[in-house]
């Protein structure tokens, strides 16, 4: 199984029973080679996200797509402990780029539904997020499959779309 860590991620949009039509998310996805762009609209906020492949051949593009953004979302597979160290190293290499200084970062540990997945505390520790002091950094444990903690992730993104 190929592990992908990425500075942006496609987040599944939950449809919650009982939502008003005006509260539902609308999305527009444009598939491309090596990455995808997705727009998510909730209310009067539109979030434009780039899903960039984590394979080595795409990593050189990360910095370019992270310049001038409101936030960087970095997803790791919280259930694949062997990949945490390389993911940590890639994240810190990315955050060392001067052009990306002060951009807030949201680290998502996906696959929290699996039995051996790291929790938020362990992700923070093993990704060495405490060493990041030049910007806001946040970490959530999520499950895209089970749609766990997706709403809190979207709330964080919406707040940063409005304020940064």
Report domain extents, the chain: 21-163
| φ, ψ at 96 (rounded to 5°) | -80, -10
Residues making up the annotated binding site are: 32, 54, 110-113
Residues 6+ apart with CB under 8 A from 22: 43
DSSP-derived secondary structure letter, 148: B
DSSP-derived secondary structure letter, 70: S
H-helix or E-strand spanning residue 120: helix 120-126
- What is the token pair recorded at 164? 């940064």
Residues 6+ apart with CB under 8 A from 74: 5, 6, 7, 9, 87, 91, 94, 105, 106, 107, 108
Residues making up the annotated binding site for GTP are: 54, 110-113
- What is the token pair recorded at 13? 């949009």
Low-confidence ranges of the chain (pLDDT < 50): 1-33
* Neighbour tally for 45: CB within 10 Å: 13
CB contact at 8 A, 2 and 82: no
pLDDT reported for residue 18: 31
Residues making up the annotated binding site for Mg(2+) are: 32
CA 23 to chain centre: 22
pLDDT reported for residue 48: 73
Q: What is this structure's pTM?
A: 0.74
Q: Which CATH superfamily is domain 21-163 in?
A: P-loop containing nucleotide triphosphate hydrolases (3.40.50.300)
pLDDT reported for residue 29: 36
91 vs 107: CA distance, rounded Å = 9
């Amino acid at each position: 199984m190929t592990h992908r860590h990425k500075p942006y991620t496609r987040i599944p949009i939950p449809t919650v029973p009982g939502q008003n039509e005006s509260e539902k998310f609308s999305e527009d996805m444009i598939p491309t080679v090596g990455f995808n762009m997705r727009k998510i609209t909730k209310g009067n906020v539109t979030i434009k996200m780039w899903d960039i492949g984590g394979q080595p051949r795409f990593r050189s593009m990360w910095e370019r797509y992270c310049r001038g953004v409101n936030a960087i979302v970095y997803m790791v597979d919280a259930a694949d402990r062997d990949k945490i160290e390389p993911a940590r190293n890639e994240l810190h290499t990315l955050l060392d780029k001067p052009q990306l200084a002060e951009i807030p970062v949201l680290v998502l540990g996906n696959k929290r539904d699996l039995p051996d997945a790291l929790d938020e505390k362990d992700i923070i520790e093993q990704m060495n997020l405490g060493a990041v002091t030049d910007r806001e950094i946040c970490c959530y444990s999520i499950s895209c499959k089970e749609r766990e903690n997706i709403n809190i992730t979207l709330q964080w993104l919406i707040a940063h779309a409005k304020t940064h």
